[in-house]
Amino acid sequence: MLRIIDARTGEPTPAAPARRAPTRVEAHVPGRDATALRVLLVADLLVRALELDSTPAWAVLTGAAERDGPRKDAAALGIRPFEDGAAGPGPGTGQGVRVVSEGEDADEEEDDEEEDKDKGEDKGGGGGGGGSAQGVATVAVAPVHPAVPDLSDPDAVRLALLERHHHARVELDATVLDEARAALAALRGAVADWARQPSRPVPAELRDRLRAAWEDDLDAPGVLRVLRQVQSDPGLPDGARFEICAYADRFLGLHLTRDVGSPP
């Protein structure tokens, strides 16, 4: 079961309802900077993990007065589109998860409490009005520096952000981006080589380890550690290595199979 750490309680909580109702994933980005981009990325990972668990997700964007800029940056990083959050809670949604930058979760919670209070008064008081805070968990994303990211190689930026858990701060300096660029090129090259060999199924033990990582508070670094072990494990056939990376990439979104079919 996919669990996240709720920033309001500090405790793990399910990211999806018991029944297969859609989970509303809200990315709250007041501005356009590197931290806002990371919020969108974490929301994208959450949607991907929910879908891998066969839970439908509805992704919405809130907070930004000017949304074309954040949407453009998100698209560059391979983040799938978010709808306008002003559309409301959505029909039949069973749970909500709000993804915010670190430090905003307390303000958001206070706003929800005020909204719940107002709704309770509108209904004649008595509490238990069922406001928007019910069933909503908050994922807090640590900041990124510098504030203005270098998006000349967006895939390298995505990998650099995935290398650190979203609770940890990230420095997107030139060295970090160069290392991410080199690591991504090496992995894509290896995947293209492995694709030339007969396909083999993903070993159940490795599939379970990958799922255990992303279902544990969206642990992208844990998924990447598994892939590094796959690269160096002499006991794995190349066809299995390819399928493992293709499977993990449904969560990571790094286009690991992009170079398949290119000249060696």
Q: Are residues 100 and 183 in the same domain?
A: no
Q: Are residues 15 and 120 in the same domain?
A: yes
For residue 56, give its domain range: 3-148
Rounded to an integer, the average pLDDT of 236-257 is 97
Q: Are residues 76 and 193 in the same domain?
A: no
Number of domains in the chain: 2
Q: Are residues 161 and 110 in the same domain?
A: no
Residue that terminates a domain, selected from 123, 148, 173:
148
CB of 249 closer than 8 Å to CB of 162: no
CB of 144 closer than 8 Å to CB of 172: yes
Provide the pairing of β-strand 11-14 with 3-6: antiparallel
- The DSSP code for 61 is E
What is the model's pLDDT at position 86? 58
Show the tokens assigned to 122.
């509108």
Q: Are residues 156 and 73 in the same domain?
A: no
Q: Are residues 161 and 45 in the same domain?
A: no
Place of tokens 């908050």: 138
Residue that terminates a domain, selected from 108, 133, 148:
148
Rounded to an integer, the average pLDDT of 128-153 is 78
pLDDT band at 85 (very low <50, low <70, confident <90, very high): confident
Rounded to an integer, the average pLDDT of 34-54 is 96
pLDDT band at 131 (very low <50, low <70, confident <90, very high): very low
Q: Are residues 191 and 219 in the same domain?
A: yes
Chain centre to alpha carbon of residue 262 = 29
What is the model's pLDDT at position 220? 98
Q: Are residues 181 and 212 in the same domain?
A: yes
CA 60, 66, 69, 72 torsion-angle sign: positive
What is the model's pLDDT at position 221? 98
Q: Are residues 137 and 18 in the same domain?
A: yes
- The DSSP code for 79 is P
Lay out the sheet containing 57-62: strands in order across: 83-84, 57-62, 23-28, 95-101, 136-141
Residue that terminates a domain, selected from 148, 168, 183:
148
Q: Are residues 21 and 104 in the same domain?
A: yes
What is the model's pLDDT at position 117? 40
Q: Are residues 50 and 9 in the same domain?
A: yes
